[in-house]
Amino acid sequence: MPKDTSEMPDAGETISKPHTAAPARRLPPVNRRRNLLLALAAVVVLGGIGYGAYWLIFASHYVSTNNAYTGADVAQVTPLISGQIQSIPVAETQYVTAGQPLLYLDPRDEKIAVDQAKAALGQAERQVRGYFANDAALAAEVAARHSAISQADAQIASAKSDLDRSRIDLQRRERLASSGAVSGEELTTAQDRFKEAQASYAAAQAAKATAVANASQAAGSREVNQALIVGADVADNPDVLAAKARLDAAELALSRTIIPAPVSGILTKKVGEIGQQIQPGTVVMQIVPIREIYVDANFKEVQLKRVRVGQPVVLTSDLYGDSVKFHGRVKGLSGGSGSAFSLIPAQNASGNWIKIVQRLPVRITLDPDELAKHPLRVGLSMNATIDVASSR
């Protein structure tokens, strides 16, 4: 077969070989490593400068912790008197307002006590009014006794006159009897009249002594009666006041058969049941005031150097996430760390002591309007950030 000469070079053409590129020049390994280290050092320096600027401008003004939990001053509902539970008009987890009735006790015994106290008060008032009436009667008796004394004085004066007259008459007849001018019968009659006058005078004196004694007795009786009423009217008399105090106590016990809510909040831990006999001090339920919830944030001791009362705090909760922020204020710092108040405090004087950074609870109050909009419960986890650059 004839060969294909289309691709054959013409005569006289020079067949050229393909051109090969020269190999690239590579850096020595030592120089390359140095450049990488310089780049890494530059990145580290820039990162350090950036972090330093961030810490100086922002981070140094705040301290944060996620070791924070909500709390509240939980109110305990306890009866002040013993009694049987008659009804419980509330349920667990219900929101109650301050003063709302939570529990009713059987009031029948207390109502009887109130009726008895009312009767005792009425009796005391009548008795005191009798004291005032007796005072008027005793005053009249004292006046009558003094009149009897005056009458006795008049009788004494009359008896004294009769005694003097009969004495003079007797003396005259005794002088005349020696001369025989007066008979023996007249002398005897004069002597009898004198003795009668002496007896009458003695009787008048005895009557006065009796009148004086009776007047003293009447005055003493009035003084005793006046001691019961002096300085006060019927309403302010001690006997009436004592009876009124007993009535007030009975009415107070009756009012305590209705147990109201001491604060507003969520009802929890209800243990009382209808028909149960309870004693004073028994905790029958608790109330969590969710609108007065606070946060106890446990900061490390190395974070507390610049923390002051009144500084603003921004908080987030695990319940709502970072999208809901709460704002509050530092209310105060605890008097000691948790380990200091633990049931078995750490004995740091032992030979195997290891230093551990302690945490101190910081009490933070929350904005009530934000709490009303996003309610919290006791024991929830929180994240707290305090602006320590703020003076208050």
Q: 101-105 and 381-387: which strand pairing?
A: unpaired
Query: Residue with structure tokens 């003795």?
Result: 195
Residue 170: pLDDT above 50? yes
Give the residue from 315, 357, 310 showing the smallest Cα distance to 64.
Answer: 315
Asked, for residue 34, whether it belongs to a domain, the answer is no
What is the identity of the amino acid at 37?
Answer: L
C-alpha span between 191 and 193 (Å, rounded): 6
Asked, for residue 42, whether it belongs to a domain, the answer is no
Element (DSSP H or E) covering residue 172: helix 108-177
**What torsion do the CA atoms of 244, 245, 246, 250 make, to the nearest 10 degrees?**
100
pLDDT digits (tens, 9 = 90+) for 102-134: 999 999 999 999 999 999 999 988 887 777 777
What is the identity of the amino acid at 39?
Answer: A
Give the residue from 362, 352, 355 showing the smallest Cα distance to 382.
Answer: 362
Q: Are residues 121 and 242 in the same domain?
A: yes
Element (DSSP H or E) covering residue 205: helix 184-229
C-alpha span between 158 and 170 (Å, rounded): 18
Q: Are residues 199 and 247 in the same domain?
A: yes
- Phi then psi for 52, rounded to 5 degrees? -60, -40
C-alpha span between 61 and 389 (Å, rounded): 5
Q: In b/e form, how buried is each residue of 247-260, taking b as 16+ CB within 10 angstroms?
A: beebbebbebbebe
- pLDDT attached to residue 81: 93
Residue after which a domain boundary falls, among 263, 287, 311: 287
Structurally, how many domains does the chain consist of? Answer: 3
Residue 25: pLDDT above 80? no
162: tokens are: 């009769």
pLDDT digits (tens, 9 = 90+) for 232-276: 677 777 888 899 999 999 999 999 999 999 999 999 999 888 999
What is the identity of the amino acid at 127?
Answer: Q
C-alpha span between 237 and 130 (Å, rounded): 12
C-alpha span between 95 and 67 (Å, rounded): 29
| Whether 148 contacts 204, CB under 8 Å | no
Q: Are residues 281 and 301 in the same domain?
A: no
Residue after which a domain boundary falls, among 229, 252, 275: 252
pLDDT bucket at 178, cuts 50 / 70 / 90: low
Q: Are residues 95 and 188 in the same domain?
A: no
State the CB neighbour count (10 A cutoff) for residue 263.
18
Residue 292: pLDDT above 50? yes
Asked, for residue 195, whether it belongs to a domain, the answer is yes
Residue ranges making up the domain that contains 193: 110-252
Residue after which a domain boundary falls, among 196, 226, 252: 252
What is the identity of the amino acid at 301?
Answer: E
Residue 312: pLDDT above 90? yes
Q: Are residues 177 and 68 in the same domain?
A: no
Q: Are residues 268 and 192 in the same domain?
A: no
Asked, for residue 166, whether it belongs to a domain, the answer is yes
What CATH number should be reported for the domain holding residue 329?
2.40.30.170
Question: Exposed, middle or buried, 280 (CB in 10 Å: 0-12/13-18/19+)?
Answer: exposed
What is the identity of the amino acid at 219?
Answer: A
Q: Are residues 198 and 81 in the same domain?
A: no
Q: Are residues 116 and 90 in the same domain?
A: no
Q: Are residues 331 and 224 in the same domain?
A: no
What CATH number should be reported for the domain holding residue 96?
2.40.50.100
In the chain, % of residues over pLDDT 90: 43
Who contacts 315 (Cβ-Cβ below 8 Å, separation ≥6)? Answer: 68, 295, 325, 326, 327, 328, 364, 366, 382, 383, 384, 385
pLDDT digits (tens, 9 = 90+) for 367-385: 999 999 999 999 999 999 9
Residue 156 to residues 97, 165, 213, 215: CA-CA distances in angstroms?
Answer: 87, 14, 16, 18
Query: Residue with structure tokens 């390359």?
Result: 32
In the chain, % of residues over pLDDT 70: 80
Residue 114 to residues 111, 248, 346: CA-CA distances in angstroms?
Answer: 5, 8, 57
What CATH number should be reported for the domain holding residue 173?
1.10.287.620
What is the identity of the amino acid at 14?
Answer: T
Asked, for residue 9, whether it belongs to a domain, the answer is no
Q: Are residues 243 and 295 in the same domain?
A: no
Asked, for residue 22, whether it belongs to a domain, the answer is no
Give 106's Cβ-side CA count (13 Å radius).
12
Asked, for residue 313, whether it belongs to a domain, the answer is yes
- pLDDT attached to residue 179: 65
Q: Are residues 259 and 375 in the same domain?
A: no
Give the residue from 126, 127, 193 showing the smallest Cα distance to 164.
Answer: 193
Asked, for residue 209, whether it belongs to a domain, the answer is yes
